[in-house]
Amino acid sequence: MKTRSATQPYDPIPLEVASLVKRFGQITAVDGISIELRSGECLGLLGPNGAGKSTLIRCIVGRALADAGSISVFGFTVGTSEAREALGWVPQELALYPRLTCRENLGAFGSYHGLSGSKLAQSVAWCLDWAALGDRAGDLVKNLSGGMKRRLNMAAGIIHRPRVVLLDEPTVGVDPQSRNRIFEMIEALRAEGTAIIYTTHYMEEAERLCDRVAIIDHGRIVAQGTNRELIQSSFASRSQVLARFAGPTDEIAAWVERHEGRLVDGAAEFTIEQSTQIAGLLDDAAKAGLELVDVSLRRPNLESVFLHLTGRELRD
Amino acid sequence: MIVPIVRTALMALRRDRPALAMSFILPIGFFSIFAVIFGGQRNSTHKINVILVDQDRSRSSLELARGLEREDSLVISTRPSSKEKAAAPPDYTAATAEAAVKAGDAPVALIIPAGFGQNPISFGGNQNGPAIQLLSDASDMIAPQMVGGLLQKAAMTAMPTAMAEQGMKYTDQYIGGFTPEQRKTMDANLGYLRNMETKDNADSSASAAGSSGSGGLVAVKMRSVVGENKNGNMISFYAAGIGVMFLLFTASNSAGSLLEEAESGTLDRVLSSRVTMTTLLAGKLAFNTLLAFAQLVVMFLWAWAVFKLDLFTHIPGFVVMGLCTAFAVAAFGMLLASICHTRAQLGALSTLVILMMSAIGGSMFPRFLMPPAMQKAGLFTINGWAIDGFTKVFWRDLPVQDLWQQVSVLLAVGIGLFLIARRIARRWEFA
């Protein structure tokens, strides 16, 4: 592990993870992951449940001990007080005190980070405002809506104003309106120069919020880059055709397989080089006796990239 | 519909094996403890320690002492017990015997005063000589009554000569005197009786069984040397006993917040801040100690207000014992919480352990009424030491420095349990 004392030169890179390995018995949850995060950057960790995203986050925040590899936060080893203060963690669970009010929760977590007096009061006020919970500051957590709890959960993770924030699926179980509010909160953090790691298995969230995306599967990063880079590397200029047919499912499946496509949610999906290939596909379908219901052409997205790289859907 | 509900509940219970085990261990454990406490008394009452001071050293007093020593249910001591290699301590005097009763070394002391042998028997309540003093600890209501009865029995069976002499003395006094011939026959018979007594005394295995009648043959003056100015009831004993039991429940319940925080993920978040596991546990220990002490304060204030417990003249002792007890029970709660994985497990385990400790330690039933083995077992419980300490403060009016034993044990237990809890809590530190 890389170590550095408080007196050593300041490392401008907020977070560096190198060849990290974490095993639980026979299972390797994180298998040699390396990432680098820059100030003001939002890095998305995209992968299905069980891919190793949360374990990676827990290693970074010091709640799980890595079996190999290194993690440094502004040059400081994970677990040091400097690293702890630089990191803010928003866990997937609602890690709050249900019998305390919003203000009391923020006050408690702020004091755990060493804040006190007017500094703590200012920080609590800022967080309440950031999470749009100023008018609910005196309400008990158990009386808040799901979305409000999620926002308070985020606020409690950044009460000490960290420069690196780890958000572990912060939108789980919230309605679209609350989700948009959470996106705005994250964008406000980015605007201040905070480096963010955002784990999700929602492609749309990664596309909207993240500058770069690391696709994780079975504890490994299978691809990393901007949205455009990832799509370009997997599909180049190719497009995708989605076609729905009426008729016996086994006949449709056999036909799709013959044309090197795949069935996704009942629709046949093909990757094509030229749009002129669509006519040929549909003509062949008609000859095979399949009745076309609808057809569409689309540019590949992150979900397509994930499917292309892993052979599985994000929500598998 | 009922069957699926039953099946679901059964499956859930089967998955929580510790809770399932506790469901069956708890009643068995309790049955066993109460069977030992009460079942052991089926054939005989446990032996009572009695301190005997013979200031008379007359034939009658020695006979009476021997008679008492022959009683199976009494353990007579004339001097404090000595350590193996230490020199034998001096015999008890009236003052040291009283001090020993006050200190709780024995529930009863008998002092046979000088001059007792002149008129040992007091037929019909006539008391011509000094009476035997029976000093007792009022917290034990059974021992003085039992010793008083056995004293009369011993007088009846162990002092036939004295009884005959005294009877003849009364006869001589009230019917106008014996003739010389009658007196000669009487002396001859008394001589025979003395020989018989000597023979009996030489036989150490002589049976103590005999007449159970007791009608005040020897004059006895009973006096409580502990608790004589207290309320007749044992408010301080029950305040301590019940208080400690509920303190244990409160402490284990409060420490259970650790499990809730672990389940909700709050513990992880706290430990990702500047707070270390040791700091967190120490903070919770401090809170639980204060909570337990506050609970004790409320309970003793209630006892003062409603049951006239003399709290305010015992404040230093109460504070010392209260804080030490609160510390030990708080650490105990931390240990239970660190051992368990779920709230359900904690509930079952704490109920089992606390009720067992309370039963053995004397929270439910005074330890001095238990069989000796159970009394010793009580020393392995927090309840036992706490109750002993509070009894010293409120019952025996002993100063704070006399609490050193209880304070040392409770503090050592608290520190020990906390260290074990800290060791077990490592499982929460890192995955």
Among candidate residues B182, B203, B226, the one where a domain is terminated: B226
Residues B283, B136 share a domain = no
Q: Please report, rounded to a whole number, the percentage of residues in chain B having pLDDT higher than 90.
A: 21
Mean pLDDT of chain B: 81
| Model pLDDT, residue B23 | 65
What torsion do the CA atoms of A267, A271, A273, A276 make, to the nearest 10 degrees?
-10
- Residues A223/A234, Cβ–Cβ less than 8 Å: yes
Q: What was the ipTM of the complex prediction? A: 0.83
Structural domain includes residue B211 = yes
Structural domain includes residue B415 = yes
| Model pLDDT, residue B181 | 79
Structural domain includes residue B40 = no
pLDDT in tens, B267-319: 999 999 999 999 999 999 999 999 899 988 988 888 888 888 888 989 999 99
Asked whether the beta carbons of residue A63 and residue B266 sit closer than 8 angstroms, the reply is no
User: B412 exposed, middle or buried (CB, 10 Å; 0-12, 13-18, 19+)?
Assistant: exposed
Residues B357, B278 share a domain = yes
Query: Residue B154 belongs to what domain range?
Result: 48-226
Residues B247, B222 share a domain = no
CA dihedral sign of residues A97, A101, A103, A107: negative
Q: Estimate the crossing angle of helix B143-158 against helix B59-69, to 10 degrees.
A: 120
Mean pLDDT in residue range B151-161: 78
Residues B213, B235 share a domain = no
Residues B99, B179 share a domain = yes
| Model pLDDT, residue A3 | 45
| Model pLDDT, residue B85 | 63
CA dihedral sign of residues A261, A267, A273, A278: positive
Low-confidence ranges of chain A (pLDDT < 70): 1-11, 312-316
Band (B167; pLDDT cuts 50, 70, 90): confident
Residue A297 burial (CB count, 10 A): 12
Residues B170, B262 share a domain = no
A138 CA to chain B: closest CA distance, Å?
20
CA distances, B54 to each of A140, B133, B217 (Å):
74, 11, 18
Domains identified in chain B, total number? 2
pLDDT in tens, A196-209: 999 988 888 888 89
Residues B259, B204 share a domain = no
Q: Which of B265, B274, B431 sits opposite A93 (nearest CB)?
A: B265
Residues B235, B220 share a domain = no
Structural domain includes residue B7 = no
Q: Which of B264, B270, B272 sits opposite A61 (nearest CB)?
A: B272
| Model pLDDT, residue B35 | 66
Residue B134 DSSP one-character state: E
| Model pLDDT, residue B207 | 36
Residues B408, B287 share a domain = yes
| Model pLDDT, residue B193 | 66
CA B93/CA B312 separation, integer angstroms:
33
Structural domain includes residue B179 = yes
Q: Taking CA atoms, what residue in B is nearest to A58?
A: B431
Chain A environment of B273 (Cβ under 8 Å): 84, 109, 112-113, 160
Q: Which of B266, B274, B431 sits opposite A84 (nearest CB)?
A: B274
Structural domain includes residue B33 = no
B225 CA to chain A: closest CA distance, Å?
53
pLDDT in tens, B109-151: 999 888 888 777 766 555 567 888 898 887 777 888 888 888 8
Q: By three-state DSSP, how is residue A36 classified?
A: strand
Asked whether the beta carbons of residue A112 and residue B264 sit closer than 8 angstroms, the reply is no
Among candidate residues B205, B226, B247, the one where a domain is terminated: B226
| Model pLDDT, residue B208 | 35
Residues B398, B382 share a domain = yes
Question: Tokens at residue B33, please?
Answer: 């403890």
Give residue B365's identity as a one-letter amino acid code: F
Tokens 């809890």 belong to residue: B421
Residues B146, B62 share a domain = yes
Mean pLDDT in residue range B85-102: 84
Full set of structural domains in chain A with CATH: 15-231 (3.40.50.300), 239-299 (3.30.70)
CA B427/CA A65 separation, integer angstroms:
12
| Model pLDDT, residue A2 | 43
Structural domain includes residue B319 = yes
Q: What is the CATH number of the domain that holds B56?
A: 3.40.1710
Task: Count the alpha carbons within 13 Å of A146 in the hemisphere toward its beta carbon.
Answer: 11
Of the ranges A233-242, A264-273, B191-200, B242-251, which is most confident? B242-251
Question: Tokens at residue B142, please?
Answer: 């059974």
Band (B22; pLDDT cuts 50, 70, 90): low
Measured CB to CB, residues of chain B less than 8 Å from chain A are 264-266, 268-275, 430-431
Pairing of strands B108-112, B220-226: unpaired
Q: What is the DSSP string of B136-163?
A: EETT-SSHHHHHHHHHHHHHHHH-HHHH
Mean pLDDT in residue range B71-87: 79
A62 CA to chain B: closest CA distance, Å?
7
Q: Residue B123 — φ and ψ, nearest 5°?
A: -60, 135
Q: Which of B265, B268, B273 sits opposite A109 (nearest CB)?
A: B273
Chain B environment of A91 (Cβ under 8 Å): 265, 268-269
Among candidate residues B207, B226, B245, the one where a domain is terminated: B226
The pLDDT of residue B43 is above 80: no
Residues B416, B267 share a domain = yes
